[in-house]
Amino acid sequence: MTKRKIGIMGGTFDPIHIGHLILGEAAHRQFGLETVYFMPAGNPPHKRNRAGRATDAQRLEMVRRAIASNPHFELSEREMNPDGYSYSYRTLEALNSEHPDCSFYFIIGADSLFDFDTWREPARIAAACSLVVATRNQTDPVRFEQEIETKRKTYNGTFLRLDTPNLDISSHHLREMIQKEESVKYYIPDPVIEYIQQEHIYRVDDGEES
Ligand code: ATP
Ligand code: MG
């Protein structure tokens, strides 16, 4: 039986940007993924509603707006756990048992690959999905390929390179740009920018936070 291929794009998405969207679209094309789920990570209670950050509800709404025009992207709220963090290995193992007809492709950037050993239960993650890895932060191509090979050997898992250009963009940098009132047009889809403006997100100094 050929399994249905499902992509998972996890992240904080604070805010979502074209890096995340391009990775999802490229993975859909390169690996024939039927659907890519955008799965915002939950925050533990002490990290919710921090000044200068979006709330959980705002992060969800930004993702919803960003992916609305793409028929093979979907929002998944399953990691928005009311009591705090959820762990990728648990999510992936649950998805596998709920959907035995699907195989899962977890899409990450190179920074996440280099951190992978520090994730909770990395071997169980690698057993539960294929990891699809995009370059980031101008990683040297040889070093990137070596790291993929090392991870394959360490975890006996499937680590696949996603063919994307280096996309020099991060949520962290965008939060700073918005705070400084710089333009983020084309880094973030227009409907998301409109929402950020309407809700005054990331404007820590404007005194309008509730
Ligand atoms: P922050 O700056 O707050 O850490 P971020 O831009 O890294 O935000 P995350 O939500 O942390 O965004 O990222 C989710 C996933 O997307 C991670 O696996 C990360 O490596 C990947 N990713 C994010 N931006 C890029 C990018 N520009 N190129 C490649 N991968 C990216
Ligand atoms: Mg990050």
pLDDT band at 205 (very low <50, low <70, confident <90, very high): low
Residue whose CA is at the smallest distance from ligand 1 atom 21? 109
- Residue scoring higher pLDDT (208 or 201): 201
Query: Are residues 204 and 53 in contact, defined by beta-carbon separation less than 8 angstroms?
Result: no
Mean pLDDT of the chain: 95
Residue 59 has pLDDT above 80, yes or no: yes
- Angle, helix 56-67 to helix 18-31, in steps of 10 degrees: 50
The mean pLDDT value for 200-206 works out to 82
Residue whose CA is at the smallest distance from ligand 1 atom 20? 109
Residue whose CA is at the smallest distance from ligand 1 atom 26? 19
Find out if CATH 3.30.470.10 is the number for domain 4-199.
Answer: no
Write down the domain spans for the chain: 4-199
- CB-ligand 1 contact for 67 (6 Å cutoff): no
